[in-house]
């Protein structure tokens, strides 16, 4: 059975003059989630015009707007992801002449943010679009995702080829991406965290029931340090320092193959090989 947008976003006809639907092409960085980069995504959907330009990308002349972004990254050019509802509080002017709308999120349909996908065929082109909110009566709802939209453009190519930037790891863990979760839950491992700024390496291991997924999830929860002493010192000095880390599997064991004492011995072996206690980020 086909569902139209009005069935989910209950805006009455008496409110139509107060609302606009804004359709945004993907930004250059293809950022679709506020968790990934809230500042950049908000700037993108708020953009009015470049400095020196005489024509605006889009004029938002209503008090409120519904913001969507096109799923170019999945090549679904007629599908749009809902990014929330906003109050339009005017225009902000910057020294270089560019302008953005002062959009402030309101909490009316927030449970659909980054989960609701609609269908609308827009002519190709760089200009951002706006359409009348009355279109909610005909816009088709494609899906309401169980979890926030996430796209992983890095295929799983084998445990011996896993090497993830912290940013990519966060996307996988926070998105609870099924295939990656299942594959990382099924193995324990010796892993390396490389500090791409200094070249220093941290060697760690997992031997719990949920394997690598659980341990690496802890790094995501702690903004990159995972309660490891040296890494914690680095994160305490700079909350964004984890963005310099790359996570790599060196050696893996299926959960029921090998006991924890054997995995710990292999961890000590690799610490010696890479001299991470003398020159890296291990203290023990």
Whether residue 221 sits in one domain with residue 164: yes
The residue among 190, 202, 61, 230 whose CA lies nearest residue 132 is 61
Q: Angle 34-46/166-174 helices, nearest 10 degrees?
A: 100
Average pLDDT of the chain, as a whole number: 89
Residue 126 has pLDDT above 80, yes or no: no
Rounded to 5 degrees, what angle do the CA atoms 260, 263, 266 make? 155
To the question of pTM greater than 0.75 for the whole model, the response is no
In a domain, 24, yes or no: yes
> d(Cα 61, Cα 19) in Å, to the nearest integer?
9
Q: Look at residue 139 in the predicted model and tell me its pLDDT.
A: 95
Query: Is 154:73 a contact under the CB 8 Å cutoff?
Result: no
From residue 137, alpha-carbon distances to 12, 23, 65, 141, 211 in Å are: 11, 16, 16, 11, 48
Do both 21 and 136 map to the same domain? yes
The yes-or-no verdict on residue 249 having pLDDT over 70 is: yes
Share of the chain above pLDDT 70, in %: 94
Establish if 150 belongs to a structural domain. no
CATH of the domain at 253: 3.40.1440
Q: 134 with 58, same domain?
A: yes
Return the pLDDT at 270: 97
Does the pLDDT at position 151 exceed 80? no
- What's the total number of domains in the chain? 2
pLDDT digits (tens, 9 = 90+) for 267-277: 999 999 999 99
Bridge partner residues of 190 (DSSP):
205, 251
Average pLDDT of the segment spanning 14-26: 93
Q: Answer yes or no: do 114 and 178 share one domain.
A: no
- pLDDT value of position 278: 95
Strand pairing category for 64-71 and 19-24:
parallel
pLDDT of residue 191: 97
Q: What is the pLDDT of residue 205?
A: 95
The CA-based dihedral angle spanning residues 245, 246, 251, 254, taken in that order and rounded to the nearest 10 degrees = 90
Residue 255, domain extent: 159-274
For residues 42 and 107, membership in a common domain is answered with yes
Residues 24, 129 share a domain: yes
Distance (Å, whole) CA 58 – CA 89:
15
**Distance in angstroms (rounded) separating the CA atoms of residues 104 and 188:** 45
CA angle 241, 156, 217 (to 5 degrees): 40
Residue 158: phi and psi, rounded to 5, are 125, 150
107-111, 183-187, 202-206 — most confident range: 202-206
Most confident of 29-38, 81-90, 126-135: 81-90
Amino acid 73: pLDDT? 66
pLDDT band at 77 (very low <50, low <70, confident <90, very high): confident
The pLDDT of residue 125:
63
What whole-number distance in Å separates Cα of residue 14 and Cα of residue 77?
31
Q: 237: closest CA among 218, 252, 224, 251?
A: 224
Give the pLDDT band of residue 141 (cuts 50, 70, 90).
very high
Asked if pLDDT for residue 258 goes beyond 60, the answer is no
Mean pLDDT of 233-239: 96
Q: Check residues 275 and 150 and name the one with the higher pLDDT.
A: 275
Long-range contacts of 50-59 (CB under 8 A, 24+ apart): 50/97, 50/98, 51/94, 51/96, 51/97, 51/98, 52/97, 53/97, 56/99, 57/127, 57/128, 58/22, 58/127, 58/128, 58/129, 58/130, 59/130
In this structure, the answer to whether residues 138 and 170 fall within a common structural domain is no
Q: Is the pLDDT of residue 154 over 70?
A: no
pLDDT at 158: 85
Query: Of 144, 167, 190, which residue sits at a domain end?
Result: 144
Q: Please identify, among 144, 170, 199, the residue that sits at the C-terminal boundary of a domain.
A: 144
């Amino acid at each position: 059975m086909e569902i139209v947008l009005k069935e989910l976003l209950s805006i009455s006809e008496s409110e139509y003059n107060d609302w606009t639907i804004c359709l945004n092409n993907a930004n250059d960085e293809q950022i679709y989630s506020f968790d990934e980069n809230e500042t950049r995504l908000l700037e993108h959907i708020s953009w009015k015009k470049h400095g020196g330009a005489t024509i605006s990308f889009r004029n938002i002349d209503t008090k409120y707007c519904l913001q969507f972004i096109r799923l170019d990254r999945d090549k679904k050019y007629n599908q749009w992801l809902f990014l929330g509802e906003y109050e339009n509080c005017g225009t902000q002017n910057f020294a270089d002449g560019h302008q953005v709308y002062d959009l402030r999120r309101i909490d009316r349909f927030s449970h659909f943010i980054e989960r609701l996908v609609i269908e609308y065929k827009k002519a190709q082109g760089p200009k951002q679009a706006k359409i009348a909110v009355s279109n909610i009566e005909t816009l088709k709802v494609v899906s309401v995702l169980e979890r926030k939209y996430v796209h992983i453009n890095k295929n799983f190519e084998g445990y011996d080829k896993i090497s993830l930037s912290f940013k990519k790891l966060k996307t996988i863990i926070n998105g609870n991406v099924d295939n990656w979760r299942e594959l990382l839950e099924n193995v324990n491992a010796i892993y390396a965290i490389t500090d791409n700024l200094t070249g220093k390496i941290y060697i760690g291991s997992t031997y719990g029931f949920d394997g690598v997924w659980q341990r690496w999830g802890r790094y995501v929860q702690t903004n990159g340090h995972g309660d490891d002493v040296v890494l914690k010192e680095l994160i305490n000095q700079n909350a964004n320092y984890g963005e310099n880390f790359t996570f790599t599997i060196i050696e893996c064991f299926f959960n029921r193959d090998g006991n924890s004492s054997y995995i710990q011995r292999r961890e000590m072996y690799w610490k010696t090989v890479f001299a991470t206690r003398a020159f890296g980020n291990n203290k023990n």
